Amino acid sequence: MKRKKNILLLNSTLFIGGAESVIAALCKNLDRTRFNVIIGLLKEQGTVAEKLKADGYDVVLIRKPGNDAVNYLSFLELRAFIRSRQIDLVHTHDLHSLIDGSICRLVNPSFKLVHTFHFGNYPFRKKRYLLLERVFWRIPDRLVAVGNVQKHSLMRTFGIPDHRIRTVWNGVGTATRTDPTADYRKYASNDTLVIGSISTLIEQKGLTHLLDSVAELKKRHSKFVVLIAGEGHLRAELEKKSELLGLTRNVHFLGWVKDAASSLIPAIDIFVQSSLWEGMSMVVLEAMAQGKPVVATTVGENPYVIDNGTTGFLTEPADVSGMADSLGRLLSDQELRGRFGKAGKEKWSQKFGADAMTTGYSGIYNELL
């Protein structure tokens, strides 16, 4: 019998983010009769890695213990690991893993190399990162974009030919509530609706515009609260802005929420994303998977994921009035919320489930191997 192929999913860390969610989903859903799946980390583990490890998945910190300094020869540790574990294919997900994986591929061409780009705002990236990606994208056997918009941006930015890069849309699985003690409905009375947002509190997420939209929405609706889950360097500034706008009773900053997809999203009535740019948002998919109507901006793959007026509403980035109008329509119409939520869940199940994404990557692995 042929031995199973050893697949190394490689990243710097596994904290919270889109790439981390993709890696976790692949780890859980790849066919174990065909693949041995190992998660390799080049710097440190992180919360997602710790959970996967506790669940029995093969998670390995490749960096030698005690080596906390910047290590420009980390590819040597990776090369030794690839040899010792007889890795057949390495799938990288960030710049550090792309560089180390590419160097190992050059000196040891016995394995195949796949790289997925997760950054969603090309060419607006730090120049040194662009320079490194411009050099190293040429080495992997297959490049993957997480959406069509991102794919075309990558092709324009780096001159990547169409036959070298494919699109595999991100996908998420179903989330069962894991923390029944976290009752986020406590922020709302019985007849108050809950709007939820989950994101890192950084400029990219457009949360200052969301607060302006909430202030405008408050002039027309009184029975709602907004729960914002996440941490970031803008938290103090956003909390101050919320106070200045008189929103302290309407807007609640929750900080990081453990397993937000399974603990917070079930408690909300409407999901909102105010991002100024995205690649392909995992959290939008998570909201759709649980039948929540979505209001989001027309960034990244959102126009492909959300059917405007059918599964949710789309507004232009920083369009304060447009977002307030869309949220207001959903607050006022229970039937519309239910219809959008049902349609969104159906579209997720057809196109954006973890199984569909895993099938896409499995096809690439089989083709190369």
What is the Cα–Cα distance from 119 to 99, expressed in whole angstroms?
A: 16
User: Which tokens in the block code for residue 48?
Assistant: 């997602």
Return the pLDDT at 175: 66
What is the Cα–Cα distance from 277 to 208, expressed in whole angstroms?
A: 14
Return the pLDDT at 261: 85
Task: Render each residue's pLDDT in the chain as its tens digit; 369 residues.
Answer: 578 999 999 999 998 788 999 999 999 999 999 999 999 999 999 989 999 999 999 999 998 766 555 666 889 999 999 999 999 999 999 999 999 999 999 999 999 999 999 999 999 999 999 999 999 999 999 999 999 999 999 999 999 999 999 999 999 987 655 554 467 888 887 789 999 999 999 999 999 999 999 999 999 998 999 999 999 999 999 999 999 999 999 999 999 988 888 889 999 999 999 999 999 999 999 999 999 999 999 999 999 999 999 999 999 999 999 999 999 999 999 999 999 999 999 999 999 999 999 999 999 999 999
Return the pLDDT at 63: 84
Cα angle: 42, vertex 45, 46; to 5 degrees: 130
User: Which tokens in the block code for residue 233?
Assistant: 């360097």
Return the pLDDT at 86: 96
* Contact indicator for 215, 247 with CB cutoff of 8 Å: yes
Instruction: Give the pTM.
Output: 0.91
Beta strands across the sheet bearing 112-117? 59-61, 35-41, 5-11, 89-92, 112-117, 142-145, 165-167
Kindly list the structural domains of the chain, giving each domain's residue range(s) and its CATH number in brackets, ordered by start: 5-171+353-368 (3.40.50.2000), 184-351 (3.40.50.2000)
* Contact indicator for 196, 229 with CB cutoff of 8 Å: yes
Return the pLDDT at 176: 59
- Length of the chain as a residue count: 369
Instruction: Return the beta strands (E) in the chain as ranges.
Output: 5-11, 35-41, 59-61, 89-92, 112-117, 142-145, 165-167, 193-198, 224-229, 251-255, 270-273, 294-297, 312-315
For residue 137, is it left (φ>0), alpha (ψ between -120 and 50) or beta?
alpha
